[in-house]
């Protein structure tokens, strides 16, 4: 989180918003992938 903030030179508020959206997308896509694999296997 802090490395991401410093690398992109963002404020804590902006970093938190970006990080939340990114983590939500990763979670949803991961869940969709697992459910898809579950139907195949």
Q: What are the tokens at 41?
A: 């296997």
- Residue-level pLDDT at 24: 97
Domain that holds residue 31: 2-40
> How many Cβ atoms from other residues are within 10 Å of residue 18's Cβ?
14
Q: According to DSSP H, which parts of the chain are helical?
A: 2-8, 12-40
Q: 28 pLDDT exceeds 90?
A: yes
Q: 41 pLDDT exceeds 90?
A: no
Mean pLDDT of the chain: 93
> How many Cβ atoms from other residues are within 10 Å of residue 31's Cβ?
10
Cα distance between residue 30 and residue 10, in whole Å: 27
Domain count, the chain: 1
- Residue-level pLDDT at 4: 84
By the 10 Å C-beta count (0-12 exposed, 13-18 middle, 19+ buried), 5 is classed as middle
**Model confidence at 1, in pLDDT bands (50, 70, 90)?**
confident
């Amino acid at each position: 989180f802090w490395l991401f903030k410093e690398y992109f030179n963002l404020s804590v508020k902006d970093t938190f918003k970006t990080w939340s959206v990114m983590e939500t997308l990763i979670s949803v896509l991961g869940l969709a992938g697992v459910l898809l694999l579950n139907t195949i296997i």
